[in-house]
A and B are shown apart, each in its own frame.
Chain A
């Protein structure tokens, strides 16, 4: 499974757009990129998944350049409730297991 590198922590203020970048230099052809969010004392929650270009849902956008060696999770106009750990995962959807890294701790301040 391709390994990922993402910042340990990020700080932001309410109302700002937050972009969290994940590096996955050895991503394979069959790998998808998936992001999870985890609030304190809760299990991770699926946010978004993509293979290439751009994916958008009601929560976030995922930008993936043509070489797919990195991806950026974009959270528009964050609020205090977006304070959480965000995990970037890369894996082949033909296989069932996921490998979580240490994630990015996003702290949103007033």
Chain B
């Protein structure tokens, strides 16, 4: 299906484990983003990517790693999950044309025990 998808939609893990959240878009958008959303904080940018092999930190990058070997995929890895990383994670993409319309995925709910 066309659009932006995230997997898994729900994930429960334990403190210290590595977790990878997947994001895939079919529009060939150049830009992709990862946000986390927590009560009381709204949406906060974790990392973003302007193109394949180009990534940059957002507001809250600590504890996360990203890669972008292909334009359509932008996985987010929690190398050693902590309870504070329990959150809802949203991936987004945009086609840079001077207007910043971002298209968001359905989100991944992550619980770290």
A residues whose Cβ falls under 8 Å from a Cβ of B:
32, 34, 41-46, 49, 87, 91, 93-103
Could you jot down 7 A-B contacts, CB within 8 Å? A42-B104, A43-B104, A43-B106, A44-B90, A44-B104, A46-B102, A102-B42
Interface range, B side? 20 to 34
B residues whose Cβ falls under 8 Å from a Cβ of A:
31, 33, 35, 40-45, 48, 50, 58-59, 90, 92, 94, 96, 98-107
Number of cross-chain contacts by CB at 8 Å: 56
Closest CB pairs A-B (n = 8): A43-B104, A100-B43, A102-B42, A43-B90, A46-B101, A100-B42, A93-B98, A96-B31
> Which B residues are CB-close (under 8 A) to A46?
101-103
Are the CB atoms of B96 and A96 closer together than 8 Å? yes
> Which A residues are CB-close (under 8 A) to B42?
87, 100-103
- Main SS at interface, chain A: loop
Are the CB atoms of B104 and A49 closer together than 8 Å? no
> Which B residues are CB-close (under 8 A) to A91?
100
